[in-house]
């Protein structure tokens, strides 16, 4: 099989000889613990063999539901946050036209994302845009109680029903949520919406290959069978029987732990040279940030879009504090072909590029940056991807998931919980006088009165 390819040479050179291989035993133990379900958070391992266990019948059920939405909607709003949002957006943006909303594509509905913020302007501009439009909603929430998403869904449900009538709205509202618990499930049961279940043992940030990601991706017109196929091939390539030195996820987990623990590299910057991958980095940041940032530990996952950010963050990366390393996703072959034209007057002095592909310049920018950053003390991990299509994005998704599971275990944390996220929610609910938070409300208000 053609495959994404990991190169850690320019990261390992910043470590003592053998430092990466020194993690072999720990990484193998972590991989085994995932396989045998003996690691911390072992009730959240449903993602591990998900790609190879998804059946064609289930993919067809998702596709059928997507087709109903596609046939009946000019716009589909995907309401969700965090793991109930980022995976779908990452894939749809990586595969879609960068100017999709401007080109008036008649084949595919516009996919919009909401429920991922509480911006009043954002929501009123969204609801204004949807006025008079035939739109549908995919309401995605594992807990079914997340405030940002629930608030947005309340607005959209009402607008959809007002515009299309309750009967028709029922056809174009879908819930992806817990099997029994939460407000999203309660509304779906009462209204009779089509629903998909998020399995209990798959955490939000690992859920892109469940209907959480697959339904919106299918709605956008992309091939979910190919996506899952890529992930399934990567599941095999990172399997328990694959030796450390040949297992890309094992090597990535090893080198990042070595950079962190042995070389003080506390920040990993996920870098792309294709703006379409911006949201892939956002997905990756949640995956690694929530999985590893706990117990006072964890690499801080950051991201940059190059060459764009070379003109803003490039200075820091080249000469700032040497606590960073880069992981570059490099796409070997763009899907388009565009040559620079020759210009008789050559006023811009760019005739030396005439006849070259745009990508040739981009690749030289990438190579030049890699050399400069390595010279400047920034270790470089490179993941090359043959092209941006469903199959290779599927490979990348599973690669980062399994590497994350291994890496978090090597770090010595439970990579499958996120207890820290509750702190802001508790304060917000107390401040908003949510029923059930009376004691917290009293305490927080007293605290604020004393602080002022």
Ligand X SMILES: O=P(O)(O)OC[C@H]1O[C@H](O)[C@H](O)[C@@H](O)[C@@H]1O
Does position 298 interact with ligand X (CB under 6 A)? The reply is no
CA angle 207, 397, 35 (to 5 degrees): 70
Residues of this chain, 410-439, that bind ligand X according to CB under 6 A = 418, 421
Which residue, 216 or 229, is less far from ligand X as judged by CB?
216
Cβ distance to ligand X smaller for residue 143 or 384: 143
- Encoded one letter per residue, x for contact with ligand X by CB under 6 A and - for no contact, window 70-89 reads -----------xxxx-----
CA dihedral 126, 132, 136, 140 (to 10 degrees): 20
Strand partners for 207: none
Alpha helices in 144-277 (DSSP H): 147-164, 166-172, 183-191, 211-219, 224-237, 248-263
- Whether 290 is catalytic is yes
Angle 211-219/224-237 helices, nearest 10 degrees?
140
Please, which of residues 175-214 interact with ligand X by CB under 6 A?
204-205
Of 148, 235, 268, 290, the active-site residue reads 290
Quote the Cα angle for 81-86-90, to 5°: 155
In the bound state with ligand X, the residue whose beta carbon lies nearer, of 81 and 385, is 81
- Number of residues lying near ligand X (CB under 6 A): 14
Other residues' Cβ atoms within 10 Å of the Cβ of residue 356: 13
Q: Which of 146, 225, 281, 330 binds ligand X (CB under 6 A)?
A: 146
Q: Name which of 205 and 370 has its Cβ closer to ligand X.
A: 205
* Residue 116 interacts with ligand X (CB under 6 A): yes or no: no
Contact letters for ligand X, residues 374-413 (x by CB under 6 A):
----------------------------------------
**Does residue 149 touch ligand X according to CB under 6 A?**
yes
CB of 203 closer than 8 Å to CB of 195: no
| C-alpha Rg value of the chain to the nearest Å | 23
Helices (H), 246-389: 248-263, 278-292, 314-319, 358-375
Question: Do the Cβ atoms of 219 and 174 come closer than 8 Å?
Answer: no
Residue among 115 and 394 whose Cβ is closer to ligand X: 115
User: Given candidates 3, 28, 143, 417, which one binds ligand X under the rule CB under 6 A?
Assistant: 143
CB of 441 to ligand X, least distance (A): 21
Which sequence positions are flagged as catalytic? Answer: 290, 425
Interface positions with ligand X (CB under 6 A): 81-84, 141-143, 146, 149, 204-205, 290, 418, 421
């Amino acid at each position: 099989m053609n495959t994404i390819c990991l190169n850690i040479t320019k990261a390992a050179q910043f470590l003592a000889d053998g430092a990466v291989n020194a993690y072999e035993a720990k990484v193998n133990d972590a991989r085994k613990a995932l396989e045998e379900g003996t690691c911390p958070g072992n009730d959240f391992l449903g993602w591990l063999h998900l790609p190879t266990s998804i059946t064609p019948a289930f993919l067809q059920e998702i596709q059928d539901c997507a087709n109903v939405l596609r046939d009946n909607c000019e716009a589909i709003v995907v309401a969700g946050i965090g793991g109930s949002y980022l995976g779908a957006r990452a894939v749809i943006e990586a595969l879609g036209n960068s100017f999709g909303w401007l080109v008036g594509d008649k084949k595919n509905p516009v996919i919009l994302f909401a429920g991922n913020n509480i911006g009043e302007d954002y929501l009123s501009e969204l609801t204004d845009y949807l006025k008079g439009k035939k739109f549908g909603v995919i309401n995605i929430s594992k807990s079914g109680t997340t405030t940002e998403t629930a608030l947005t869904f309340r607005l959209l449900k009402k607008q959809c029903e007002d515009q299309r009538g309750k009967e028709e709205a029922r056809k174009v509202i879908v819930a992806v949520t817990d099997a029994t618990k939460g407000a999203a499930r309660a509304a779906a049961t009462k209204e009779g919406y089509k629903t998909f279940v998020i399995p209990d043992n798959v955490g939000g940030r690992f859920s892109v290959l469940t209907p959480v990601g697959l339904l919106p991706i299918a709605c956008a017109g992309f091939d979910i069978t190919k996506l899952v196929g890529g992930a399934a091939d990567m599941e095999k390539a990172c399997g328990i029987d694959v030796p450390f030195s040949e297992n890309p996820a094992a090597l990535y987990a090893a080198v990042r732990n070595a950079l962190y623990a042995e070389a003080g590299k506390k920040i990993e910057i996920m870098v792309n040279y294709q703006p379409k991958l911006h949201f892939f980095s956002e997905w990756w940041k949640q995956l690694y940030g929530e999985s590893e940032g706990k117990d006072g530990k964890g690499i801080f996952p950051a991201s940059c879009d190059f060459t764009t950010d070379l003109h803003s963050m490039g200075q820091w990366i080249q000469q700032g504090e040497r606590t960073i390393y880069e992981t570059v996703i490099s796409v070997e072959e763009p899907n388009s072909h565009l040559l620079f034209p020759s210009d008789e007057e050559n006023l811009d002095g760019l005739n030396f590029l005439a006849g070259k592909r745009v990508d040739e310049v981009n690749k030289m920018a990438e190579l030049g940056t890699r050399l400069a950053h390595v010279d400047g003390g920034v270790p470089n991990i490179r993941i090359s991807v043959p092209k941006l299509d469903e199959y290779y994005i599927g490979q990348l998704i599973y690669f980062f998931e399994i590497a994350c599971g291994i890496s978090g275990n090597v770090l010595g944390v439970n990579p499958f919980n996120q207890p820290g996220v509750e702190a802001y929610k508790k304060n917000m609910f107390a401040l908003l006088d949510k029923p059930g938070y009376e004691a917290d409300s009293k305490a927080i208000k007293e605290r604020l009165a004393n602080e002022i």
